Amino acid sequence: MQESFYDNNLIQQNGQLPCMARVMTNMLYHSERNGGVSMHQSVGILLDRETFRRIPSRRTGNERLALYNKAAKELDLKLFYMSLEQVGTNSALGYTYNKAKYRLERQSIPKVTHNRQIALSPSLKAKLKLLSKSSLIFNRQNRYDKFKIYKLIYQNPELREYLPVSMRYSQARLKDAMNTYSSLFIKPTNNSVGDGIIKLKKQQSGNWLFYWKKGSPKSLSSQQVVNRVNKYVGRQHYMIQEAIPLATYHGRPYDLRVSVQRGATGSWQVTGMIGRVAAKGRHVTNVAKGGKPKKVETLFRTSEFEPEAMKTAIRAVALKIMNDLSGKLLHVADVGLDLGIDTQGHIKLIEMNGRDQRYTFKKAKMHATFYRTYETPLQYAKYLLTQKSTTIMTRKR
């Protein structure tokens, strides 16, 4: 069932993006006829229905629209907040923001849209498709199957060193993996904010520690582990992954959330990185599961990693991964990578989040970085619009 989270059509089978120039040229031809250059400064932000509904009350939760508004002002862009439920063929009912006020109005669909809505149902997917006919939507797909992302990256031999050994779950593979590895993670392949994740750790006695949710792990025999995992997995899609021996901070494992985005020049950049230290007794670092945000410099110093060198290495790995993946996925431009560092200082990819919620930066009071995670996608939108204007000029000559 969760297989439907993943839209195979959006993977480029041959590793090539569709002819973006042609897509843009078609759109521009229309925009040129429909009203000229001023229209090009409008950028769509596609929100889920609940966030959209809350715009007038300004209580949009994790989506800090004030930051989009601020960035839009600085970049001289007009934003049009949309919800798929309100999108028609050529126009949409959405919110504009002007002179500190939101106004609900019908407008033609902007030529470029930043997608922040996770469309899973067939009807929402159909609406998204409709929208994509009149707007270039980046991050159109924003929920990916973890194992498929693993396989895509694995195709590139240069990136394999950053991937913990992973396989799709089956009982037979679990038994094999338990013979090969002394610690394993078994996790759902769709997004889970730390839910449903099992950790196994072999003990000297031959028994295994079984970590599940909070509380002390249980000591179980191999057969008990296999039975219990099978029961928990049920009919869901799961993967088995070698456990990364994560570096620790005061005895607790930590990993990093790295915001990787395309910006003003169209190329990938690392906008920010923040550490997350697992809550006491937890095997996951997710903030939703009590993980505490911590500046990477503090963590690296404690782990005796040279902070600047480690940050440079992380940036390089994050960029390598996204430069590779963006040739294989359809127009992805804003992700959050979960990167682990093992006790030896090796960097490993845990997962790629297709709609980064960015709030860990806010929790860590990294306000400038938090702002930049909102600003960068708008810089990228502006870059796309400029590309399009260039195309217009080329067409005119």
Ligand X SMILES: Nc1ncnc2c1ncn2[C@@H]1O[C@H](COP(=O)(O)OP(=O)(O)O)[C@@H](O)[C@H]1O
Name the residues that contact Mg ion, by CB under 5 A. 338, 351
Nearer to ligand X among residue 2 and residue 192 (C-beta): 192
Angle made by CA atoms 98, 76, 25, in degrees to the nearest 5: 115
Nearer to ligand X among residue 79 and residue 341 (C-beta): 341
Asked if residue 2 binds ligand X (CB under 6 A), the reply is no
Asked if residue 332 binds ligand X (CB under 6 A), the reply is no
**Backbone phi, psi, residue 233, to 5°:** -70, -40
Measured torsion, CA atoms of residues 276, 281, 282, 288, in degrees rounded to the nearest 10: -70
Structure tokens at 194: 């730390």
Euclidean distance between CA atoms 376 and 382, whole angstroms? 10
Structure tokens at 34: 């429909």
Asked if residue 197 binds ligand X (CB under 6 A), the reply is yes
**Of residues 160-179, which lie at the interface with ligand X (CB under 6 A)?**
164
Beta-carbon count within 10 A of 48 CB: 17
Measured torsion, CA atoms of residues 177, 181, 182, 185, in degrees rounded to the nearest 10: -60
Nearer to ligand X among residue 191 and residue 376 (C-beta): 191
Euclidean distance between CA atoms 195 and 370, whole angstroms? 25
Q: Which of 353, 325, 378 is nearest to 113 (CA)?
A: 378
Contact call for residues 347 and 339 (beta carbons, < 8 A)? yes
Asked if residue 194 binds ligand X (CB under 6 A), the reply is yes
Nearer to ligand X among residue 85 and residue 338 (C-beta): 338
Euclidean distance between CA atoms 311 and 256, whole angstroms? 11
Nearer to ligand X among residue 72 and residue 337 (C-beta): 337
Angle made by CA atoms 150, 153, 159, in degrees to the nearest 5: 120
Q: Select from 48-56, 190-198, 222-230, 259-267 the region that touches ligand X (CB under 6 A).
A: 190-198
Smallest gap from Cβ 366 to ligand X, in A, equals: 19
**Which of 32, 63, 145, 255 is close enough to bind ligand X by CB under 6 A?**
255
Q: By Cβ distance, which residue is nearest to Mg ion?
A: 338
**Which of 243, 335, 337, 341 is close enough to bind ligand X by CB under 6 A?**
243
**Which of 46, 92, 350, 366 is close enough to bind ligand X by CB under 6 A?**
350
Smallest gap from Cβ 350 to Mg ion, in A, equals: 6
Smallest gap from Cβ 218 to ligand X, in A, equals: 18
Asked if residue 185 binds ligand X (CB under 6 A), the reply is yes
Residues in contact with ligand X by the rule CB under 6 A: 164, 185, 187, 191-194, 197, 241, 243-244, 246, 255, 284-286, 338, 340, 350-351
